Chains A and B, each alone.
Chain A
Amino acid sequence: MASAKVFVLRTCDGETFEIDESVAYVSETIKNMIEDGFGHDLIPLPNVSSKILLKVIEYCRKHVSNFESSKKTSNGDEKDKDNDSWKKEKEAVPEVEKDAEEKARVEELKEWETTFIDIDQQVLFDLLQAANYLNIKGLLVMAAEKAASMIRGKTPEQIRETFNIKNDFTPEEYEDIRKKDAMNDFTPEEYEEIRKKIADNHFTPEEYEQIRKENAWAIE
């Protein structure tokens, strides 16, 4: 292999990682640091743990190799590095018929992506942080999509539980929100059921505790 430049990254827990220039450049932040002259020694990443950096490097390496093979299958056009399914923006212009090789490459990439992002929640959040700090667009998109998929279809309380979020609205604020947004929390049937139950007080202790928490402003 030709003399590819190598850079050394150091994580917050003191580990070092060696990566090629092309892989390093996938991160805009690292790219800027190198271009500003900080690439000679270790590049410190105090906000990133080694566990997460491993994952990030895995992504960057895949990104580089995918870009290389896409150059071969396309007509050799200068394609934007951020192109492909990494972007996931709504296709403004549907692609003209791809040939079989190109289709296969895109398929393989999608499969790789699915496996890559099949991670537990804490790793996902750390990855979001890292992708944001290191300014890696494609990774941020992938992680954000995954996070969105974990939010879809849940109630506010379920979301708070999943993401360990504290409900920091005051009762008045929350009342205001509920009034404005007819679409949150309960379906009309659910709400009707709850109203009836409150009247008859047929709740289990757990149900009541939940409802009491959420409707403190009205019940207490």
Chain B
Amino acid sequence: MESLPVEVIGNILSRLGAARDVVIASATCRKWREACRNHLDTLSFDSDDWPVYHDLTTVRLEILITQTIFQTRGLQCLSISMDEVDEFSAAPVIAWLMYTRETLRQLLYNVRTTPNVNILEKCGRQRLEVLDLSNNSITGVDPSYQRFPCLKSLSLSHISISALDLSLLLTACPKIEFLSLVNPEIAMSDSQATMELSSPTLKKIYFEAISLDKFILEADGLESLILKDCTLEYFDIIGKGTLKYLEIDDVSVLHLEIESTENLEVIDLSSFTIVWPKFYQMISRSSKLRRLRLWGVVFDDEDEIVDLETIAVCFPQLSHLSLSYDLKDGLINYGLQGPTKLENVAVLELGWTVISDHFSLWVAGLLERCPNLKKLVIHGVVSEAKTHEECHMLASFTSSIVQLMRKYMRVEVQFEYE
């Protein structure tokens, strides 16, 4: 250990992350102290790391963080995540940001500051690659002098920002690849809430708890889009057909438009409220689709039901199909009509939320359409208060499945009940 160069010690200690471990390590001997002083690139103050953090006053924490940061030189990754702290005062926060300005590549900060600190203004911009901010406000974005030439990943959670500033911020990040917005407080100037975001370099987007009237997203390089718990009236995604992965969970959109869907490989929808015929039309061009999941969706009438013929014809490369929706009388047969087989489907996942007699018929119908199936997974919801009727249905379902699977001996069957 004696002969390891101080830079290597610094490399090792940079992997500790938690500030307390780093400080303790720096108290072992001179070489390690020097390593922490001059060769430490990562420091993290996370309330999960050390239980004693909870017992310290905010002022004490501010002092502690300041003392520790100021004993380093050349810090590249700084993470301050203190869930139990209401707010830090502006002065120490500004000090931390200014001290690390020249070298910082990654910043994570989740504590409110009072008075509000314009973090984008104070933090290092030249080298910043990852920025993860929560519980703060962003105002007055000016791309003419505020540029983030290296920023690849931007995550904003519970941030207060205007639609205009958000849009300007993206233009100030010429290399941005990942954007995450969680529960933003978006201030609008118009009476109609419109947001327009544009970035040719964005590859992956994650939106959660967003509520907007009109949202126009222009992302020519977009490969992956995840929406969770959002309410949108009008969502228009303009692109050059690079989108491969689409995941939507607990979202309602009145009007969704995705410019080019030809290269979609995965469509994962659950608890999704949309006008289905239009949606089907839009994704019917996704001939490269490998995985399709329609889970916990509601179809109001037969126009909306998922019909296997269309799926088989439009998605010849489909290998993984997951379906779970309320099976209404008469609609099952409608969905099962047609001759075309799902030749490439190897995994089939079928689920019920309320068990019914129709379910086993439906399973049987689907098995017939998948000649090369390897695995079947049944997802069932079993209510706490099991009525006699429900038990009876579960029993008859079990019997019918056993009989059914005798015809398909090659298929592996799994059950997941919750």
Contacts and interface: CB of A to CB of B under 8 A. Distances in A.
A182 B27 CA distance: 11
Contacts of A93: 152-153, 177-178, 203-204
Instruction: Classify chain B's interface size.
Output: 35 or more
A167 B50 CA distance: 25
B386 interface: no
A83 to B, nearest CB: 15
Contacts of A147: 12, 15
Nearest to A147: B12
Interface in A162-185: 163-169, 174, 177-178, 180-185
A191 B232 CA distance: 56
Contacts of B123: none
B23 interface: yes
B130 A90 contact: yes
Contacts of A92: 106, 129-130, 152-153, 177-178
A96 B178 CA distance: 10
B27 A165 contact: no
A151 B13 contact: yes
Contact of A165 (B28, B52, B64): B28
Contacts of A156: 24-25, 27-28
A160 B204 CA distance: 45
A97 B290 CA distance: 12
A188 B52 CA distance: 9
B130 A132 contact: no
B106 A129 contact: no
Contacts of B64: 182-183
A155 B23 CA distance: 10
Interface string B9-36: 0011101101111011111111011000
B354 interface: no
A94 interface: yes
Contacts of B114: none
A147 B35 CA distance: 15
A177 B33 contact: yes
B245 interface: yes
Given A93-B152, A97-B245, A144-B15, A128 B29 contact: no
B104 to A, nearest CB: 13
Contact of A96 (B1, B23, B55, B223): B223
A125 interface: yes
Contact of B30 (A128, A164, A169): A169
A132 B16 contact: no
Nearest to B15: A148
A128 B4 contact: yes
A67 to B, nearest CB: 23
Contacts of A185: 24, 27
Interface residues of A, number: 42
Given A96-B223, A97-B245, A148-B15, A128 B32 contact: no
Interface string B249-284: 000000000000000011000000000000000000
B130 A159 contact: no
Nearest to B3: A129
A74 to B, nearest CB: 13
B1 A165 contact: yes
B19 A165 contact: no
Contacts of B266: 97
A5 interface: no
A93 B129 CA distance: 10
Interface string B63-84: 0100110010000010000000
A96 B245 contact: yes
Contacts of B33: 169, 177
Contacts of A154: 24
A60 interface: no
B224 interface: yes
Contacts of A188: 52, 55
B3 A151 contact: no
A140 interface: yes
Contact of A132 (B5, B106, B265): B5
A3 interface: no
A97 B268 CA distance: 12
B21 A151 contact: yes
Interface string A119-150: 00000010011001000000010001101100
A97 B15 contact: no
A187 interface: yes
A40 interface: no
A185 B245 CA distance: 49
A183 B18 CA distance: 11
A164 B319 CA distance: 56
Contact of B4 (A125, A184, A187): A125
B244 interface: yes
B8 interface: yes
B178 A90 contact: no
Contact of A180 (B18, B67, B177): B67
B28 A183 contact: no
A144 B71 contact: no
11 contacts: A128-B4, A140-B8, A144-B12, A151-B21, A153-B21, A164-B1, A169-B30, A174-B27, A180-B71, A183-B50, A183-B68
Interface of A: 90, 92-94, 96-97, 99, 125, 128-129, 132, 140, 144-145, 147-148, 151-156, 159-160, 163-169, 174, 177-178, 180-185, 187-188
Given A93-B177, A152-B16, 5 more contacts: A144-B8, A148-B12, A163-B28, A183-B64, A184-B20
